[in-house]
């Protein structure tokens, strides 16, 4: 027998033959293994589909329509599918509760065959959720049974264990609609992206993080919190709580105002009634008609009411420079109209008129200064018009310790006071403090006073008229009531003429009553006798 010499090397053909045999065996094993995996996937797919449909049906009390579901088990189990639709209580007269265009999920093999069905990460494409208004299904139950237990909970109030557990859900584009009970109002819609939920199926709800795009004012809202546990019988009663941050919102997207708003806050409640508390900071808020940026900070408490689509503003505290404005009201959605209708009851108990005027008057120096009280009703209709054009404001105003900043105007007020007291000498020294009050309306950019009056020592001015906010022009008519007679307000030959004319301008109870008019541009108004009324009948 021939011996192989040490150092013998296998010939190249023999090496190639052995490699081919090795590859053939490996390929055969792969085919066998693949066939086994395909057999497992084929056998497990209907099982998983059936369990998933049953779990979704029970969890959401919905009829489940699943267009496709496929499972691959190599290199690890994965589910792919399209067209998932859940109809709450099988209803077809409203939008589906949940619609998903396509989805994928990773899972362990044990999680697919063991109970509960356990998925690791589920990725959703085009998730849409439509929450029906609460209470719509209570008439379906037999009231004689007296069972008020919410589906998904045992009689003692503890939520039942879910047959479907998902460790993490990721959705890059999603939409949440909370439908109003009022068919004439649009649903409250939240456009959500970058949504991540963890622990879906936990007894105390799922943790979530998300980013929302707020259309008006335009900006991004980052939020995180806890959602659930899901209330299958009444989805609108599903709890939600969390916190949010709203940064760098551009107020220029609202016609008529400007500035950059930031807000932080918290929210809690159920989907159809969410309580929100927060703060906003706009260091450069402005109304276009004045275009003067002022710092504006607010604190608010609001309730988002899904039963009617409205937001109730329980209390809003807004601080403009050093003036505190307190408001209560509502933000109302209306059908087929862009934006929201805002109604507010506004009060200023002890503010500064100069702070408020910076919002509406272009002058760098305030028209007047002084302490003010104001009560007003504000209406801002929905629509795409400029804020100043659609703003409707009516109420009462009172000023104490008021002083006009225009030197000429204040000098005339000082002289008016002196003459009203019967002192014909020129008024020198510090300006006379005026007391001003009246009722007003602001509509279409025109401020109208019906019974404006202010008093100075020795005289009272009563006026009615308008101020054009955009054109900055005045047109007021009224009466000047003097404690003194005309003769007492002057000297020399003018005093003689005053005595002759006094019967025409006699004031009941003594003194004089002169018809006057104030008109012209804001910076240079004319103040004088209304000759037409003075010489006219009556």
Angle at 430 between CA 466 and CA 364, to 5 degrees: 50
Q: How far is CA 121 from the centre of its chain?
A: 33
Tell me whether residue 436 is in a domain. Answer: yes
Tell me whether residue 51 is in a domain. Answer: no
The answer to whether 275 and 268 have CB atoms below 8 angstroms apart is yes
Query: If you search the block for the tokens 């939240």, which residue do you land on?
Result: 190
The answer to whether 272 and 133 have CB atoms below 8 angstroms apart is yes
For residue 402, the SS3 value is strand
The two beta strands, 117-131 and 98-106, are antiparallel
Tell me whether residue 422 is in a domain. Answer: yes
For residue 532, the SS3 value is helix
Tell me whether residue 423 is in a domain. Answer: yes
pLDDT at 49: 75
43/250 Cα distance (integer angstroms): 56
- Omega before 229 cis (within 30°)? yes
Beta strands in 107-228 (DSSP E): 117-131, 164-178, 188-200, 206-214, 218-227
Domain count, the chain: 1
Tell me whether residue 45 is in a domain. Answer: no
The DSSP line for 335-382 is TT-SSEEEEEEEEEEEEEHHHHHHHH---SS-SEEEEEEEEEEEEE-S
The two beta strands, 117-131 and 164-178, are parallel
Q: Backbone phi, then psi, for 167, in 5-degree steps?
A: -70, -40
The answer to whether 280 and 265 have CB atoms below 8 angstroms apart is no
The answer to whether 416 and 456 have CB atoms below 8 angstroms apart is yes
Q: Dihedral (C-alpha) 417, 419, 425, 427: value to the nearest 10 degrees? A: 20
Mean pLDDT, the chain cut into blocks of 10 residues (538 residues total): 53 69 63 49 64 81 87 74 91 91 82 73 92 56 38 45 80 88 79 89 85 82 92 88 91 84 94 93 88 91 83 93 94 74 93 88 77 93 84 91 67 63 56 76 90 80 89 88 72 70 75 84 80 63
Of residues 242, 248, 234, the one with CA closest to residue 276: 242
The size of the chain, in residues, is: 538
- Read off the pTM: 0.76
CA distances from 314 to 189, 328, 330, 331, 345 (A): 22, 6, 8, 11, 11
Tell me whether residue 442 is in a domain. Answer: yes
pLDDT at 109: 65
Q: Dihedral (C-alpha) 354, 358, 362, 367: value to the nearest 10 degrees? A: -10
Q: Backbone phi, then psi, for 516, in 5-degree steps?
A: -130, 165
CA distances from 378 to 85, 381, 465 (A): 44, 10, 20
On the CB side of 275, CA atoms within 13 Å amount to 6
pLDDT at 139: 37
CA distances from 489 to 159, 430, 458 (A): 87, 20, 11
Tell me whether residue 65 is in a domain. Answer: no
Residue 484 belongs to domain spanning: 406-535
Tell me whether residue 493 is in a domain. Answer: yes
Q: Residue 118, class by beta-carbon neighbours within 10 Å (0-12 exposed, 13-18 middle, 19+ buried)?
A: middle
CA distances from 452 to 114, 155, 156, 297 (A): 80, 66, 66, 31
pLDDT at 349: 94
pLDDT at 84: 92
On the CB side of 3, CA atoms within 13 Å amount to 3
């Amino acid at each position: 027998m021939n011996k192989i010499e040490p150092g013998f090397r296998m010939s190249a053909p023999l090496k190639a033959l052995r490699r081919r045999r090795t590859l053939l065996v490996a390929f055969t094993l792969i085919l066998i293994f693949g066939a086994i995996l395909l057999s497992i996937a084929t056998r497990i797919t209907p099982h998983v589909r059936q369990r998933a449909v049953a779990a979704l049906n029970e969890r959401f009390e919905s009829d489940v329509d699943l267009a496709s579901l496929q499972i691959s088990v190599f290199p690890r189990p994965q589910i792919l599918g399209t067209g998932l639709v859940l109809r709450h209580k099988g209803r077809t007269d409203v939008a589906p509760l949940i619609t998903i265009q396509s989805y994928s999920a990773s899972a362990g093999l044990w999680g697919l065959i063991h109970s509960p069905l356990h998925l690791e990460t589920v990725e959703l494409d085009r998730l849409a959720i439509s929450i029906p208004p609460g209470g719509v299904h209570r008439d379906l139950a037999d009231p004689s049974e007296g069972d008020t237990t919410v589906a998904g909970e045992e009689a003692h109030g503890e939520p039942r264990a879910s047959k479907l557990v998902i460790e993490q859900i990721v959705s890059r584009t999603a939409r949440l609609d909370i439908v109003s009970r009022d068919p004439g109002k649009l649903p409250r819609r939240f456009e959500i992206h970058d949504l991540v939920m963890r622990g879906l199926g936990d007894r105390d709800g799922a943790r979530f993080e998300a980013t929302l795009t707020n259309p008006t004012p335009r900006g991004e809202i980052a939020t995180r919190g806890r959602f659930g546990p899901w209330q299958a019988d009444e989805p609108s009663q599903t709890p939600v709580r969390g916190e949010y941050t709203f940064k760098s919102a551009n107020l220029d997207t609202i016609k008529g105002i400007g500035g950059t708003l930031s807000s932080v806050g918290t929210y809690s409640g159920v989907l159809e009634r969410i309580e929100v508390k927060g703060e906003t900071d706009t260091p450069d808020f402005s109304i276009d008609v004045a275009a003067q940026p002022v710092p504006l900070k607010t604190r608010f408490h609001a309730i988002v009411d899904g039963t009617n689509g409205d937001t109730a503003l329980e209390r809003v505290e807004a601080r403009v420079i050093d003036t505190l404005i307190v408001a209560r009201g509502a933000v109302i959605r209306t059908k087929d109209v862009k934006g929201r209708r805002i109604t507010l009851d506004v009060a200023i108990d002890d503010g500064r008129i100069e702070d408020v005027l910076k919002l509406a008057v272009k002058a760098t120096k305030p028209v007047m200064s002084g302490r003010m009280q104001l009560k007003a009703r504000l209406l801002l209709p929905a629509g795409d018009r400029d804020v100043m054009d659609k703003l409707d404001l009516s109420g009462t105003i009172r000023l104490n310790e008021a002083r006009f900043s225009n030197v000429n105007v204040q000098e005339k007020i000082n002289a008016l006071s002196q003459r009203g007291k019967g002192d014909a000498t020129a008024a020198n020294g510090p300006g006379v403090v005026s007391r001003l009050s009246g009722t007003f309306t602001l509509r279409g950019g025109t401020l109208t006073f019906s019974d404006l009056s202010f008093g100075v020592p020795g005289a009272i001015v009563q006026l009615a008229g308008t101020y054009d906010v955009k054109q900055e022009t005045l047109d007021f008519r009224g009466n000047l009531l003097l404690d003194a007679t005309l003769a007492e307000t002057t000297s020399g030959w003018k005093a003689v003429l005053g005595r002759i004319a006094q019967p025409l301008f006699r004031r009941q109870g003594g003194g004089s009553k002169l018809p006057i008019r104030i008109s012209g541009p804001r910076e240079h108004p004319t103040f004088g006798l209304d000759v037409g009324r003075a010489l006219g009948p009556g």
